[in-house]
Structure 1
Amino acid sequence: MAEMARVIQQEHGSVEGTLLSITAEAVRLIPGADHAGITLVVRNHRIESRGATDELPRRVDALQEATGQGPCFDTVWKHHSVSVPDMAREDRWPQFAPAASEAGVRSMLTFRLYTHHDHLGALNLYSDAVHGFDDADDDVGVLLATHAALALVAAEQEHNFESALATRDVIGQAKGIIMERYDLRADAAFAMLVRLSQDWHTPVTDLATKIARREPE
């Protein structure tokens, strides 16, 4: 687990890199896990399939979104974790389970990721064998999901911070161009930028980007 934490820390700042490290470490640390992926559930039960080790987790996420049911939804909204010992005999999700079994899932283990209130998620482990997971795998999975959630939140916060800095910079560049072109003070230039944004129904950041990238006439 200490080695896993170090590996994930190396990807700090890259959300996608963090997710890929989490799933790779899940497959490495849990013997029964042949595949892994992270499902993020956003507004209106829309699913984002992230950090998949291969195509199988993405196919399963697509099935869950299409049917509106499955272990990921139960993990996010009802339970801290969900175990599916034999997908072919599973009856909790009558539309999802047969399709997942046909896609190649034999057993599955999911863990809730505690991120933030409007962006929930689950760490999903898949086995190519029926009854592919045991109690020890469940214990390791809980610890892994806890570390994963912390790393994911940290990476998202750093990404948001960097995006905010980039937004501030591009608005500053656009203000500078307007100030020079129209001989305005900084506050008047920003007011013009906001007014143009409203008149053209364009977000301030998008408009600022267009202005900042425009070559001088």
Structure 2
Amino acid sequence: MTRYTPDRRAGAEKTVTTHMNREQAITEAFVSLTDTVADDVDPLTLLRRLVDHCVSLTAMDAAGVMLVSARGRLQSAVVTEERVEITEMFQAQADEGPCVDAYNAGEPVHADDLAQTDRWPVFTPLARAAGFQAAHSYPLRLREQTIGALNLLARTPTPIPPQDGRLLQALAGTATTSVVTWSREPLRPYDIVTRTQAALSSKGVLDIATGMLAATAQITPVEAGQRLRAYARVHRQRPADIADALVRRALTPQAVLTPRP
């Protein structure tokens, strides 16, 4: 039997530890994306975990997910920062960009350096003005159906190494399956579109609720979203349910914004 002996040369032990930490982080990412039985988990929660993992495990600076609506148009579902949602609005309005192409072709789309491409005459200058110099996208597919696209952005020209590309595709595939099948009810063919649309509807309610919190506390929508999700975690409820309660006035903004004693 071969016994493992750690290399004590300068830097070697740190490299091994870093590798082990990354492997553990990857494992935990996949576990979190398959957690569909907890009462406080919904499709948007799973997609938020996806984009957060994509940023933490790769060289990408920001990420988002666009889902296709019942009308066949891509809409922003979750983002890691507000500027990502701006780039997704550009893509939806102009019907061009990496997410649009990835969704239509069902294949990954890469622009390592936006300054070197003329592929998207409307999207590219707007994305660069938002501070991004690289854009990548992976389709979100379940069986033979594409339900959206993963949006990945970097502030400097940045390619995606093959190993990271495989990881991103695996994360996207796992999240897509979880989002569509998270309900305990059996999945029927037409349920894929129904559940995708339900996630987009939840996003609309969340936007209204975070706007209410932001106006009440005079904070940014991003901060408001963080406060809403924190409240949901403490009370073991889904963020979508908290947002719905706020919009229906069954819960006050002050109740969500006031720290728990």
TM-score over 0.5 for the pair: yes
Q: Which moved more, 1:3-12 or 1:33-42?
A: 3-12
1:168-199 residue CA offsets vs partner (Å, 9 max, x unmatched)? xxxxxxxxxxxxxxxxxxxxxxxxxxxxxxxx
Unmatched runs of 5 consecutive residues or more in structure 1: 164-217
Q: 2:137 aligns with which of 93, 110, 113?
A: 110
Matched AA of 2:33:
I
TM-superposed CA distance for 1:81, in Å, is: 0.3
Q: 1:4 aligns with which of 29, 51, 55?
A: 29
> Aligned pair 1:87/2:130, yes or no?
no
TM-superposed CA distance for 1:115, in Å, is: 3.9
| Mapping 1:18-29, distance limit 5 Å | 18-29=46-57
1:80–1:111 contact (8 Å) kept in structure 2: yes
1:115–1:121 contact (8 Å) kept in structure 2: no
TM-superposed CA distance for 1:79, in Å, is: 4.0
Matched AA of 1:4:
A
CA distance in 2, matches of 1:50, 1:20: 9
Q: 2:75 aligns with which of 41, 48, 52?
A: 48
Q: Which moved more, 1:91-100 or 1:40-49?
A: 40-49
Structure 2 partner of 1:123: 150
TM-superposed CA distance for 1:159, in Å, is: 8.5
Q: 2:86 aligns with which of 59, 84, 95?
A: 59
Cα distance change, pair 58–127 in 1 and its aligned pair in 2 (3 A) = same
Larger Rg: 1
2:74–2:100 contact (8 Å) kept in structure 1: no
CA distance in 1, matches of 2:133, 2:186: 38
1:137-190 residue CA offsets vs partner (Å, 9 max, x unmatched)? 2121111111121121122x44999x9xxxxxxxxxxxxxxxxxxxxxxxxxxx
TM-superposed CA distance for 1:14, in Å, is: 0.6
SS at match of 2:176: helix
CA distance in 1, matches of 2:115, 2:71: 29
| Mapping 1:145-160, distance limit 5 Å | 145-155=172-182, 157-158=183-184
Matched AA of 2:150:
L
2:75–2:92 contact (8 Å) kept in structure 1: no
TM-superposed CA distance for 1:37, in Å, is: 0.6
TM-superposed CA distance for 1:11, in Å, is: 5.5
CA distance in 1, matches of 2:114, 2:36: 34
Matched AA of 2:56:
R
| Mapping 1:71-86, distance limit 5 Å | 71-86=98-113
CA distance in 2, matches of 1:47, 1:23: 17
Identity %: 26
Structure 2 partner of 1:209: none
CA distance in 2, matches of 1:5, 1:113: 16
Number of aligned residue pairs: give it.
160
SS at match of 1:131: coil
Unmatched runs of 5 consecutive residues or more in structure 2: 1-25, 188-193, 195-261
| Mapping 1:182-197, distance limit 5 Å | none
CA distance in 2, matches of 1:8, 1:54: 20
> Aligned pair 1:137/2:151, yes or no?
no
Give me the TM-score of the superposition, normalised by structure 2.
0.55
Cα distance change, pair 117–135 in 1 and its aligned pair in 2 (3 A) = closer
Give me the TM-score of the superposition, normalised by structure 1.
0.65
TM-superposed CA distance for 1:122, in Å, is: 0.7
